[in-house]
Structure 1
């Protein structure tokens, strides 16, 4: 009888643990430990602007002219860039660093790109790098990509960067606003 009661109590206790662990708990909202808003300016080489260009197509499908971005959605084109980063949206503002990396157009039926780049800083305000990686569905008003690490002032920082196309002038110039929220700061 005592053994049966212990077994029943044990079974009820295990059932209680199973039921209590299945209830949804309210998801904890994380607050960023550091935030930045920066702009980077991309001037695509078009065959006539070598002095001002900050990016250039380096690979494309066979038969594509490397001084323009190819077909309607630029599928298969890869661009390397070294763009100025500013604190405001003025291309002529003093740069506080460089956005350096690549993007390639990876979808045939809409504008999307895949990004891999770093913000490199060497100013009185910031030293070091912030590294980004992720998909960029260009037709969305805002897009999020991962902040996967950094060096210097941003050592081991991780978080999310929200990209917004702030200006777009044909296929020669665009400016991105980048809102960076770090959720892990060392």
Structure 2
């Protein structure tokens, strides 16, 4: 008995691909809610502008007004290469307020949006940093987190870091955050303008 060769129609293959894609585009969050993926590479499915305020404690400023602190000292290599030092190897841990406008909030500890994580100085010849942090939302407008990471090329006017995921209202979101240094005051304060554009959103 001879075997029969089965010829699969391109239309059937395409239909199978669509069905599998649709099944993969649905997910369930921590509360058991079914979420549907919205993806666009031309226009973001969600965008927002926030300002990131970092006030580093350097032993001379107020502890109550500081929102970040060095967890490690710069390496010896930093001062060996540069007379002024570049903080190479220093790790800073932060719990910074984020705002929709440029002004610092009245209470630095009780803002509805916060950035929590770390940055480290990773270039020995000049200032350069690498970020890994979560933007934590706790308001009536949004609840959940966005997780971001990437190189902050500090001498570039604008630079991008990746939005690699999220929780709550931002469940499994992905996109890009464009950073711009908006203000600097010595070594104790800087403000970043952060334009977040999400290209994958679960709704």
TM-score range, shorter chain: 0.7 to 0.9
Paired residues, number? 154
Of 125, 133, 139, the residue aligned with 1:109 is 125
Q: Aligned with 2:88: secondary structure? A: coil
C-alpha RMSD over aligned residues: 2.0
What SS does the corresponding residue of 1:154 show, helix, strand or coil?
A: coil
Counterpart of 1:166 (choices 176, 182, 194) is: 182
Change (3 A) 1:133 1:176: same
CA distance in 2, matches of 1:107, 1:71: 14
Give how far 1:72 is off: 2.7
**Among candidates 65, 68, 80, match of residue 55 of structure 1:** 68
Partner of 2:56: 44
Q: State whether structure 2 residue 194 is matched by structure 1 residue 178.
A: yes
1:100-150, CA deviations, whole angstroms, 9 ceiling, x for partnerless residues?
A: 000000001121111000000110111000000101110111110000000
Structure 2 stretches lacking a partner, 5+ long: 1-39, 78-82
- Structure 1, residues 24-76: CA drift from partner, whole Å, max 9, x if none? xxxx9621110010011100001022111100000124679xxxxx9532111
TM-score scaled by structure 1? 0.78
1:151 and 2:203 correspond: no
2:149 counterpart of 1:141: no
1:1-150 equivalence runs, <5 A: 30-48=42-60, 49-61=62-74, 71-92=84-105, 95-150=111-166
Name which of structure 1's ranges 55-64 and 44-53 shifts more when overlaid on structure 2.
55-64
Kept after mapping to 2: 8 A contact 1:87/1:96: no
Greater Cα radius of gyration, structure 1 or 2? 1
Q: Is the 8 A contact 2:116 2:135 kept in 1?
A: yes
Query: Which residue does the alignment assign to 1:12?
Result: none
Change (3 A) 1:45 1:140: same
Task: Name the CA shift for 1:155/1:59 in 2 (closer, same or farther; >3 Å).
Answer: same
For 2:140 and 2:56, locate their aligned partners in 1 and report how far apart those are by CA, in whole Å: 29
Counterpart contact for 2:75–2:89, Cα < 8 Å: no
